[in-house]
Amino acid sequence: MEFNSLDAQRDACLSYARSQPGWTVVAERYDDGGFTGANTERPAFQRLLHDIENKLIDMVIVYKVDRLSRSLLDFAKVMDRFNAAGCAFVSVTQNFSTADAMGRLTLNMLMSFAEFEREMISERTRDKIAGARRRGQWTGGRAPLGYRIEAGKLVVEPEEAALVREIFAEYLERDSLHAIFERLRSLGRTTKRHVSRGGRVLAGSRWTKDSVLRVLKNPLYAGRVRAGDELVEGQHPALVERAIFDAANARLGARRFALPRTCERYLLIGLTRCGECGRAMTPASARTRGREYRYYRCSTRDRRGKRTCSTGLRPAAPLEAAAVEHIRALSADPRRIEKMTGSTHALIARQLSRFEQERTSLPGAIAKLSADTQRLVDALPGVATDERDAAIARIERSSERVEARQSRLREVEIAVATSARATRDIAWIAAALTRFDREWHRMPPSGRARLAGALIADVVVRGRSGEIAIASRDAFALPGHRTSSARGALR
């Protein structure tokens, strides 16, 4: 296992490079410690491809081929980019390169077997989990309310189990989700508390409509386990009788309002706010005598009850018509469009500059934290028994910091790639506004929602007065970028 470390791999590659006359190793390191070779979305690897395409590298040396990629499809794409840039490829321990036809054939055969092996492992794992579920076994995850996990099995937690039974009984008696969670809140009850493997306590949260629904819809409580599209008999004890569970879910299925299967027909998803409580308004629909009615509803009122907010259901058509008129007014002002276009370009440039700075600094910070973590791990055998728990906690905290920075680096890489597409998005928005009346009716629902989201910051609906306030953005909103807003006039 010692020779699997990044430093050991680099030493082997350096020795090979030094044995070749006239070869010079670049100073930049392209290490992706902790990232899987199953895909190419690795920060250092993306920097490597960028440098190759800028003609800064003539040859890439790896310890083994699967250090580059374990996917044949990804590997083929990478080789195409290498060849287009005139960059060769050498595997040190497998003694071949892409410089000749035989090496390329051998390489593709090796990658085929590597990908086959990875897929077989994945299939065996999936089959094992699916087989366990078909036998009714618990296959992992956090224990639901009413149970705890012992030796990999679900065991009843008596106090929590009683609460689950109360929820089912009360719903069948009162047919009100709101009444249930309001009563639980008044009693100071919370959802299940969890303890992580590291000993960190994850406190329960306040009950909501959604958390009550999750209890009522969970087939585990009726002694069943979901295996794909089927429900099978579980090996764990049920908390409620099958008839009670089925009756509760039959009543839930008959509820009047539900989210539509597709939200494409709602122009203002994510843009509409309640003017009374400030929370989002979400889409809803109702069908009466074969006719469907579309609404936006306050999420606070929906989740916490009528007494929490006075804003009721608002028909979707008037809100969306007001938003379309607002966009049409913007389109009639060429100077405004030009100003927003310029502001967006400037905003993207500033954000890209910040992302590039993070992209440069984060690898060093990750390397330092990783080294600090490794030193803590190396020192662990010499730590006294009474201090070992504290030492392990320090290692876990250090590892979490490494993971956080690695996650941020992935976000930055995505943001940089997104910025490269921003120019096309800006051009599309500006063109759509310039020819708004002609283009709007031709757009699919997704295109209309995209344009509305780019121009409108929010639509505020005031429950008592019925007023609608629409706020425009100072710059176009693009995926992965934030813009400020300017308050529009009340309508």
- Among the residue ranges 28-32, 249-253, 268-272, the one predicted with the least confidence is 249-253
What average pLDDT does range 228-249 have in this prediction?
86
Question: Which tokens go with 309?
Answer: 């907010």
The residues, any chain, with a CB within 8 Å of residue 367's CB and separated by 6 or more, are 31
pLDDT band at 361 (very low <50, low <70, confident <90, very high): confident
Q: Quick one: pLDDT at residue 22?
A: 85
Q: Quick one: pLDDT at residue 93?
A: 79
pLDDT at 490 over 70: no
pLDDT at 117 over 90: no
pLDDT band at 262 (very low <50, low <70, confident <90, very high): very low
The residues, any chain, with a CB within 8 Å of residue 431's CB and separated by 6 or more, are 439
Q: Which of 55-64, 245-254, 299-308, 384-393 has the highest mean pLDDT?
A: 55-64
Q: Quick one: pLDDT at residue 485?
A: 47
Question: Which tokens go with 30?
Answer: 């392209």
Q: Cα separation of 288 and 290, whole Å?
A: 5
Whole-model pTM: value is: 0.44
Taking residue 114's Cβ as centre, other Cβ atoms within 10 Å add up to: 19
Q: Could you say which DSSP state residue 43 is in?
A: H
pLDDT in tens, 36-54: 666 677 888 889 998 999 8
Judging by DSSP bridges, how do beta strands 456-461 and 468-473 pair with one another?
Answer: antiparallel
Q: What share of the chain in percent tops pLDDT 70?
A: 86
pLDDT in tens, 323-332: 999 999 999 9
pLDDT at 118 over 70: no
Picking from 288, 347, 366, 284, the residue whose alpha carbon sits closest to that of residue 319 is 284
Q: Could you say which DSSP state residue 323 is in?
A: H
- Residues 168-197 as b/e (b if ≥16 CB within 10 A, e otherwise) read bebbeeeeebbebbbbbeeeeeebbeeeee
The residues, any chain, with a CB within 8 Å of residue 172's CB and separated by 6 or more, are 244, 247, 248, 251
Residue with tokens 């390489």: 107
Question: Which tokens go with 52?
Answer: 């190759």
Q: Which domains does the chain have, with CATH numbers?
A: 2-132 (3.40.50.1390), 147-253 (3.90.1750.20)
Phi, psi of 27 (to 5 degrees): -75, -30
**Helix, strand, or coil (residue 144):** coil
Burial of 263 (0-12, 13-18, 19+ CB in 10 A): middle
pLDDT at 85 over 70: yes
Taking residue 461's Cβ as centre, other Cβ atoms within 10 Å add up to: 24
Question: What value does the mean pLDDT of the chain take?
Answer: 80
Q: Quick one: pLDDT at residue 192?
A: 86
Q: Cα separation of 178 and 250, whole Å?
A: 18
Picking from 113, 35, 107, the residue whose alpha carbon sits closest to that of residue 78 is 107
Question: Which tokens go with 482?
Answer: 């934030």
Q: Cα separation of 447 and 363, whole Å?
A: 38
pLDDT in tens, 13-31: 888 888 888 889 998 888 8
Q: Quick one: pLDDT at residue 327?
A: 92
The residues, any chain, with a CB within 8 Å of residue 336's CB and separated by 6 or more, are 330
